[in-house]
């Protein structure tokens, strides 16, 4: 099965890439979403839950600034320049993952007081809820597209190249291996001198 660049990013350098690009942002975003619901229902804008909500909002937004910068500079730009996108499935998976982080960055900007200054506490909380919803929508699109096989739209991955490369290798007849094994057995039994030359057929 062929993989999108999204899935390949999560699969390599285990378990660190999975932790960096999936576990940490998801834990922060889910913490933000859960505390968001609590505040919407209770309207208790003080205490541990409120400060946990603010912390997770700032942390996940700042974290996604780093992730988006890394993906744009190390994946999107070089892949686009090389023309190595693995069909539109690959484009959707990577781009929606990046887009999913933008609403969370907006939440962080709001918590820093850089945007939405005129809104009251409930107005800001509604913006939080909308941004979290957008993150969940685009994040799940990225996951679904990322797990798809780009081969269903005609992409031929490295397996096909490896197969063609193998066809170019020198053909080695199995009978030759049988002769080599017999010679090796004779050498081990002292029936013939050691030959320094290896398998040359």
Give the whole-angstrom CA distance, residue 23 versus residue 20: 6
Does the pTM surpass 0.85? The reply is: no
Asked if residue 182 belongs to a domain, the reply is: no
Q: Per-residue pLDDT for the chain (201 aa), expressed as one digit of tens each?
A: 789 999 999 999 989 999 999 999 999 999 999 998 999 888 888 889 999 999 999 999 999 999 999 999 999 999 999 999 999 999 999 999 999 999 999 999 999 999 999 999 889 989 999 999 999 999 999 999 999 999 998 888 765 443 334 334 444 444 544 555 455 455 445 554 544 444 444
Asked if residue 175 belongs to a domain, the reply is: no
Domain count, the chain: 1
Give the whole-angstrom CA distance, residue 114 versus residue 127: 14
Q: Is 115 helix (H, G, I), strand (E, B) or coil?
A: coil
pLDDT of residue 45: 85
pLDDT of residue 44: 87
Asked if residue 201 belongs to a domain, the reply is: no
pLDDT of residue 43: 85
Give the whole-angstrom CA distance, residue 163 versus residue 27: 41
7 neighbors 157 (Cβ within 8 angstroms)? no
Asked if residue 187 belongs to a domain, the reply is: no
Asked if residue 113 belongs to a domain, the reply is: yes
Asked if residue 95 belongs to a domain, the reply is: yes
Q: Which range of residues forms the domain containing residue 74? A: 5-156
CB count, 10 Å around CB of 110? Answer: 20
């Amino acid at each position: 099965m062929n993989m999108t660049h999204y899935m390949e990013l999560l699969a390599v350098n285990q378990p660190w890439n999975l932790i960096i690009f999936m576990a940490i942002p998801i834990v922060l975003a889910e913490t933000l979403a859960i505390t968001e619901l609590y505040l919407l229902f209770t309207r208790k804008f003080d205490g541990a839950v409120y400060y946990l909500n603010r912390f997770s909002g700032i942390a996940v937004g700042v974290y996604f600034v780093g992730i988006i910068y890394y993906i744009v500079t190390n994946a999107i730009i070089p892949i686009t320049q090389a023309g190595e996108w693995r069909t539109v499935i690959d484009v959707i998976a990577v781009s929606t993952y990046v887009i999913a982080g933008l609403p969370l960055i907006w939440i962080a900007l709001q918590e820093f007081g850089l945007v939405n200054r005129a809104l009251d506490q409930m107005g800001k909380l509604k913006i939080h809820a909308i941004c979290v919803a957008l993150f969940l929508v685009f994040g799940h699109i990225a996951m679904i597209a990322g797990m798809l096989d780009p081969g269903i739209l005609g992409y031929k991955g490295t397996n096909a190249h490896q197969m063609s490369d193998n066809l170019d290798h020198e053909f080695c007849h199995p009978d030759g291996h049988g002769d080599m094994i017999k010679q090796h057995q004779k050498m081990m039994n002292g029936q013939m001198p050691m030959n320094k030359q290896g398998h040359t057929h």
